[in-house]
A and B are shown apart, each in its own frame.
Chain A
Amino acid sequence: MASFSTTATLGEPQVSRGDEGGAPPIFGGGGDGRPGRGLPDYPTRLRRARLGLLVALTPVLMLFVSFTSAYVVRQGLPTLDPRTNQLVRDWIPVKLPALLLVNTVVLLLSSVGMELARRQTKLAAVAATARPAKEVPLSAEGKTPWLAMTIALGLLFLFGQWMAWKQLAANGFYVATTPSSSFVYLLTGAHAVHLMGGVLALLVAGLFVLLRRPVTTRSIVVDVTGWYWHFMAALWVYIFALLELAR
């Protein structure tokens, strides 16, 4: 359960949980929740979003666990060739393009950038909640545009994966050529789709800057996407290792 070990350490910020059963969220008022009722405070929202992410990573993990088990079964299981009455295997190992190594480095770098962006936005959000009077100007978040760099590196990785597909095809390995190449396309493709989701979320966070949405909201999006991004990086390393080591 990689997701649990990755995300179980997300302790900070420590939020007082009240007594048993969790503290009741405090709301601005009664009535039927007309506009103007307050939101739960920042730590509560952050905690809830992180918990949501932790839960959301479980089915992603199950999806890839399931693909992995299909990989192992499909690789190991011989089928009957009626011509010879022999059990045969039709698994031809694929030589992975070296480009994937470069892509891996790009993705890991993006993960570092993501972590810096996450901390940066978090600091800004904490500062904003400490001084609730005015919205913190963007400049207070520091000068390095880590968020933009992460998005750029993420897109570069996706482009690199696309190039790797083209190289595979140039070497004669198409989706249906051999089961091993089917799995290469399947696993890289499924991972890319998930990473695109992360890129999209970061773009939304960037858009929040333009829309002048509260920094706390942006911080929650960036924080949760950050953990998701790290998960995607770890998942990629796992996929790469599976494809390379269990050929």
Chain B
Amino acid sequence: MGLVLLVVIWLITLIGSYFIVAKTWWLPVGASAAAAGIDHHFTVTYILMGGVFIAAQLALGWFAWKYRDRGTGSQPAQYSHGNTTLEAVWTILTIILFIGLNLASKSIWASERFDAAKPGAVQVEVTGMQFAWYFRYAGPDGKFGATKPELEDASLGGAGALGLDSTDPASKDDVISGVMVVPVNREIEVILRSHDVIHSFFVPAMRFKQDTVPGLAIHMHFTPIQTGDFEIACAELCGLGHYKMHGIVKVVSEPEFNQWLAAREAEK
């Protein structure tokens, strides 16, 4: 029985680890400035935790086999209540490992969340509602117009869905889109809002996720470094259409972005 345990536990450990090492299913290629740092921290954590995981499982299987009861001829078990020095050693080692690992990631978290977007970042307001995303650009005046919940009507789409108040002068030049178009290599400041329940704005390629909470306007930022289309999905249970609530971030060159914005402006 001990041998079977050893074989099964070791096999599970090795097969389980193989798919991690081989990266058979892995994060998508990073397309934002933060991705490299986050991915590096993933690797560090995997190496350290993977080491602990493999060591503990191998030891468990090994002990199960080695110290099995072999009948009458077998060694009696050792009468020992433990070892305080060993206890202290592994407590301290674990503290250093766990807390150190966390502190090592502080600078990335700080740049992602402690620091506000720099002045001159491209502002995009992201609004979640059951079950769609809308993106709003302030237009030439740099100001978002007022929105009124009473005016919301999702069937109108665009400005109607957001409840944009057309009497507010600041709202005249607001551009509303169902696709998030952003320029490459510019910092994007997103202002996350929700109309009804909590949603979460998740763009795996950007290594970006943040809940959108009704009653809050959450300011966050990221910097795309690759052009292309990247999918958005809702990552917080928001109702029966949760699985369908997805969208696209279209990262284009800066001239293309300006062109697109001007064209949308002209349509109004």
Chain A residue nearest in CB terms to B191: A85
- Nearest-neighbour CB distance to chain A for B73, whole angstroms, equals 41
Question: Which residues of chain A are within 8 angstroms of B165 by Cβ–Cβ distance?
Answer: 83
Are A85 and B215 closer than 8 Å at their CB atoms? no
Residues 139-169 of B at the A interface (beta carbon under 8 Å): 144, 146-149, 163, 165
Bound CA–CA A95/B6 (angstroms)? 72
Question: Chain A interface mostly helix, strand, loop or mixed?
Answer: loop
Q: Contact residue range for chain A?
A: under 10
With beta carbons under 8 angstroms apart, the residue of A80, A83, A84 that contacts B216 is: A80
Are B148 and A83 closer than 8 Å at their CB atoms? yes
Bound CA–CA A220/B190 (angstroms)? 64
Question: Which residues of chain B are within 8 angstroms of A137 by Cβ–Cβ distance?
Answer: none
Q: Is A82 interfacial (CB-CB < 8 Å)?
A: yes
Q: Is A171 interfacial (CB-CB < 8 Å)?
A: no
Are B146 and A80 closer than 8 Å at their CB atoms? no
Select the residue from A79, A83, A84 with max chain B CB neighbours within 10 A: A83
Bound CA–CA A172/B149 (angstroms)? 27
Are A85 and B146 closer than 8 Å at their CB atoms? yes
**Contact string, B117-152, partner A, CB cutoff 8 A, digits 1/0?**
000000000000000000000000000101111000
Bound CA–CA A234/B165 (angstroms)? 53
Question: Which residues of chain A are within 8 angstroms of B148 by Cβ–Cβ distance?
Answer: 82-83
Residues 55-101 of A at the B interface (beta carbon under 8 Å): 79-80, 82-85
- Nearest-neighbour CB distance to chain A for B54, whole angstroms, equals 42
**Contact string, B183-226, partner A, CB cutoff 8 A, digits 1/0?**
00000000001000000000000000000000111000000000
Question: Which residues of chain B are within 8 angstroms of A83 by Cβ–Cβ distance?
Answer: 146-149, 165
Which A residues are closer than 8 A to B by beta carbons? 79-80, 82-85
Since A82-B149, A83-B165, A85-B217 are in contact, a sample of 11 more A-B pairs with Cβ atoms closer than 8 Å, ordered by chain A residue number, is A80-B193, A80-B215, A82-B146, A82-B147, A82-B148, A82-B163, A83-B146, A83-B147, A83-B149, A84-B146, A85-B144
